[in-house]
Amino acid sequence: MGEVRPIPSFGDLFTDLRGADRTMRVSYHPDRGAVVLSLWSGTVCRGSFRMPGADVHRLLALLTEIQESVAPPEPAAPPPGEGPAVVADEAATSGPSLEKTGEISGTTHRSVPILPAPRVA
């Protein structure tokens, strides 16, 4: 691995479904024109990928397609004479609720960089 640097102010950190010690850092480095995706296990970087800034639109198109395929469909307007209470009751019994943990359609600007924890040998 190369030199480990703090995540720049233009990036974010995502937690893996398998556990909080697994994370993915996404950062943009305007000086290099690159987006860096790095996979972490605790304080150890296990791998990284430097994507040219010009390829970000392809990644966003793919993520948008994925987001649209997993998003619940827009609710239909209730028939005349049936009010919002009926729609709310149906929504409450339609299945498990999803917890939204973060916005993925935009860019996050972190005001304080995340510093990697020091390694102890």
Tens digit of each residue's pLDDT, the chain (121 residues): 555 556 566 789 999 999 889 999 999 988 889 999 999 999 999 999 999 999 999 999 999 999 998 877 777 777 676 655 544 555 455 555 656 665 555 555 555 555 555 555 4
| Domain residue ranges in the chain | 11-93
CA-based end-to-end distance of the chain: 17
Closest-CA residue to 13 (of 112, 118, 120, 119): 112
Q: Which CATH architecture has domain 11-93?
A: Roll (2.30)
pTM for this model (two decimals): 0.52
Chain center to CA of 77:
31
Query: What is the residue whose two structure tokens read 């609720």?
Result: 97
